[in-house]
């Protein structure tokens, strides 16, 4: 592999001059610059970042920590958003996965420090609170899709689950529905509580009754080990005669919405005519594949990734950010199920 000295020799200048050209420093005569650039091209010289870093003590690498990536497919959009922003800034990203265990996570932080990572994006694969102490790691960090429990001084970018469900509920009401049910996620999940709360608040604001029997969980079992039961639950609700069942159902996620369609069909009910169904998440593999396709609230993962990377870059540049914790809107995507 060619070094800066090889280039210097070839161009007939000192290595310091080559360094200047490579780093785009000013005060180089055009003639010299061109000669050096030619030499670089001829030798196919590629700078050794590690050597540079030993001197500058900045790595130009950002770290991304993820927990159990595998469970939610759209988490990939988070990464993509991060990558798209980082790569245009000329940095690279080192990705590490903790599998959710503390031991793994500590190993990851250590690796990051060994690499003298400039900053960290800590992403969880579903919206949740974490136990996080920024002092413990001494690396600028932005939380992505999660927040530091019990403190509001840790930068974070989150989806606005509450606002998303507000919009969905208002949409159904505007469409003339007043008898609306809600199939929740596992209530242990924070998104479940936010979404459900938004539904109830909007209903109340419109003086609409929330029927206790129409609000129930679509999952059973403990957090992490839950199994879906939306199909059975929805069949139960929809088995009531016309005047005694809801005309619309909000779902904690798209999977519940999908099972709701199955349940409705199994009872001979038409979606959306007999029962309107709204999902949440907009996992397109589901939402665009059901028949009818899902009207659902989109989780803006890509934008969250972008914004989080922006925030980290701003921190590293020493720019103060006005909002420490940002919530990004979850827009309603209208399709045919409601």
Partner DNA sequence: TTGAAAGCGCTAACAG
Partner DNA sequence: CTGTTAGCGCTTTCAA
- Please say whether the beta carbons of 264 and 275 come within 8 A: yes
What's the rounded Cα separation, in Å, for the pair 169 and 175? 10
Q: Which residue, 11 or 108, is less far from DNA as judged by CB?
A: 11
Two tokens, residue 296: 């659902």
Binding track, positions 196-215, relative to a copy of itself; x by CB under 8 A: --------------------
Q: Which residue, 28 or 93, is less far from DNA as judged by CB?
A: 28
What's the rounded Cα separation, in Å, for the pair 159 and 318? 25
If one asks whether residue 51 binds DNA (CB under 7 A), the answer comes out as yes
If one asks whether residue 17 binds DNA (CB under 7 A), the answer comes out as yes
Helix-then-strand count for the chain, H and E: 12, 14
What's the rounded Cα separation, in Å, for the pair 71 and 79? 14
If one asks whether residue 114 binds a copy of itself (CB under 8 A), the answer comes out as yes
Q: Tell me, by CB under 8 A, how many residues bind a copy of itself.
A: 57
Q: Which residue, 50 or 242, is less far from a copy of itself as judged by CB?
A: 50
If one asks whether residue 231 binds a copy of itself (CB under 8 A), the answer comes out as yes
- Please say whether the beta carbons of 140 and 316 come within 8 A: yes
Q: Which residue, 51 or 188, is less far from DNA as judged by CB?
A: 51
Q: What is the DSSP string of 158-194?
A: EE-HHHHHHHHHHHHHHTT---EEEEE--TTSHHHHH
Two tokens, residue 267: 């009872």
CA 197 to chain centre: 22
If one asks whether residue 71 binds DNA (CB under 7 A), the answer comes out as no
Shortest reach from residue 155's CB to a copy of itself, in Å: 23
When binding is defined by CB under 8 A, the residue of 14, 111, 213, 239 that contacts a copy of itself is 111
Residue spans of beta strands (DSSP E) within 206-264: 215-217, 219-220, 227-228, 248-251
Residues in touch with a copy of itself (CB under 8 A):
1, 46-51, 53-54, 57, 59, 61, 69-70, 73-77, 79-80, 83-84, 87, 92-97, 99, 104, 107, 110-111, 113-116, 228, 231, 255, 258-259, 261-263, 265-266, 283, 285-286, 288-291, 302
Residues in touch with DNA (CB under 7 A):
1, 3-5, 13-17, 19-20, 22-23, 26-29, 31-33, 47-48, 51-52, 54-57
């Amino acid at each position: 592999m060619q070094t800066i000295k090889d280039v210097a020799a070839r161009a007939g200048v000192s290595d310091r001059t080559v360094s200047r050209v490579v780093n785009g420093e000013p005060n180089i005569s055009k003639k010299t610059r061109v000669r050096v650039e030619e030499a670089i091209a001829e030798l196919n010289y590629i700078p050794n970042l590690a050597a540079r870093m030993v001197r500058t003590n900045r790595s130009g690498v950002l770290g991304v920590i993820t927990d159990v990536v595998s469970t939610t497919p759209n988490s990939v959009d988070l990464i993509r958003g991060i990558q798209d922003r980082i790569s245009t800034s000329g940095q690279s990203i080192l990705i590490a996965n903790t599998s959710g265990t503390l031991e793994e996570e500590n190993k990851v932080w250590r690796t990051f420090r060994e690499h003298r990572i400039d900053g960290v994006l800590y992403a969880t694969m579903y919206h949740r609170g974490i136990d996080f102490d920024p002092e413990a790691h001494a690396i600028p960090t932005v939380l992505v899709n999660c927040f530091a429990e019990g403190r509001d001084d840790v930068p974070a970018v989150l989806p606005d689950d509450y606002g998303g469900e507000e919009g969905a509920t208002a949409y159904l009401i505007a469409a003339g529905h007043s008898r609306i049910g809600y199939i929740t996620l596992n209530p242990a999940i924070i998104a479940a509580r936010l979404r459900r709360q938004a539904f109830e608040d909007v209903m109340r604001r419109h003086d609409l009754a929330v029927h206790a029997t129409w609000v129930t969980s679509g999952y059973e079992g403990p957090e992490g080990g839950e199994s879906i039961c939306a199909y059975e639950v929805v069949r139960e609700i929809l088995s009531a005669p016309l005047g005694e069942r809801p005309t619309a159902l909000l779902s904690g996620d798209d999977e519940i919405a999908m099972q709701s369609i199955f349940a409705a069909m199994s009872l001979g009910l038409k979606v959306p005519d007999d029962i309107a169904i709204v999902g949440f998440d907009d996992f397109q593999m589901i939402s665009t594949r059901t028949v009818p396709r899902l009207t659902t609230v989109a989780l803006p993962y890509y934008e969250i990734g972008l914004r989080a990377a922006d925030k980290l870059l701003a921190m590293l540049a020493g720019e103060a950010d006005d909002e420490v914790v940002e919530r990004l809107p979850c827009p309603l995507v209208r399709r045919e199920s409601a």
